[in-house]
Amino acid sequence: MGLGIHLNKVEVESFLKSFSLFFISISILVTTIYYTGYTKDTKQLDDTIFSEMRICSFDLKCSKYEIDFVLTEDKELYKLYKDKKKLAAYFPIPNTSLNSIELSYPITTYSHDISNIKSDTLISLAIVMFVVLILSGLFSLYTLYPLRNALRLTEEFVKDILHDFNTPLSTLRLNSSMLEKEFGESTKITRIKKSVQTILNLQTNLRAYLDRNTLVKKELDLGKLLDERVDLMRMSYEKIDFENRVQEVKIFTNEDAFIRIVDNLLSNGAKYNKENGKVELFMDNDTLCIKDSGKGIKEPSKVFDRFYKEQDRGVGIGLHIVKKLCNELSITIRVESRVGKGSIFFLRLNN
């Protein structure tokens, strides 16, 4: 399994979630185990010190601990005491209860012992956590393979379907043109042509979305590009007034994907506009604004959801694809709308 495989955005998100879940859960478990071990080691150190003191109290032959004779007073025998200066334990002296033996251990030496335990624990924990990190990455990559295969098969299936669309669509376009020449313009023929064009637009959008893994960015003249797209839109929507006020703006993005975004927003602005309406394009700092005088959107927060639509026309996938392409290009998109007044889409160009 190679670690240098290319992951798309969905796969990266899946990888990060799997990695985080596995790594964090195992890390919590390992840290808990090591903390418990550290607590036991410190407790064992205290027990060892007390045991050595107790043995030393019999013959007083120990250089490790300081020996003193003190008044017993309120001190409990056979108990380890800790304060800021020392660890001490008190043991009885035969034939007297007034005095007792004090065996003490400097707190500085004790702190050094604790530091050694902590250092050994942290080093061991760091090594184990590194191993967990590697295993988490390998585990997450391994779990990606079913997802990658499912996505690949789905994309191949959709591409095959899109390819198979070409023959019937070409036949429909050819026959509608022949009918128009034979019988002249009519409402029914116009509807057929617009329906075919809608399917072609959907096909183009889907192809652009499926090709998201090969988005090559380059510098583009935004004003010139918008002029070209607006000119094409004027040919399809003669009764709509298009105005492009964007000039001399350079952006760094993928041309085909960005054209798909702009074309969708322009066609929607024209398609759902009022008669003799207007579509304006202008810049607000680093944000491209596309404003229309159309019907407006009742629920702007849902407009990028897949299959959501407020009109009978379309299938509700165009703006969803626009949102996906914006994410791929690191473009922040949002919309403001008022019913009966129109909508304005904001594209923040994060160059």
Domain with CATH 3.30.565.10 in the chain: 218-349
CA 2 centroid distance within chain: 23
What's the pLDDT tens digit per position in 98-125?
A: 889 999 999 999 999 999 999 999 999 9
* Cα torsion through 197, 199, 203, 204, rounded to 10: 20
Residue 242 in tokens: 């298009």
* Distance separating alpha carbons of residues 303 and 312, to the nearest angstrom: 14
The pLDDT assigned to 310 comes to 64
Asked whether the predicted pLDDT for residue 214 surpasses 60, the reply is no
Asked whether the predicted pLDDT for residue 76 surpasses 80, the reply is yes
Question: Class assignment of domain 218-349?
Answer: alpha beta
**Torsion angles phi and psi, residue 124, rounded to 5:** -65, -40
In eight-state DSSP terms, residue 2 is -
The pLDDT assigned to 2 comes to 42
What's the pLDDT tens digit per position in 269-287?
A: 888 888 888 999 999 888 9
* Distance separating alpha carbons of residues 244 and 229, to the nearest angstrom: 10
Q: What value does the mean pLDDT of the chain take? A: 84
* Average of per-residue pLDDT across 77-83: 90
For 156, the 3-state DSSP assignment is helix
* Distance separating alpha carbons of residues 250 and 244, to the nearest angstrom: 15
The pLDDT assigned to 33 comes to 94
Burial code (b: 16+ CB inside 10 Å, e: under 16) for 273-307 equals beeebbbbbebeeebbbbbbbbbbbeeeeebbeee
* Distance separating alpha carbons of residues 55 and 61, to the nearest angstrom: 9
Residue 140 in tokens: 């997450």
For 82, the 3-state DSSP assignment is strand
- What pTM was estimated for this model as a whole? 0.49
End-to-end CA distance of the chain: 35
In eight-state DSSP terms, residue 75 is P
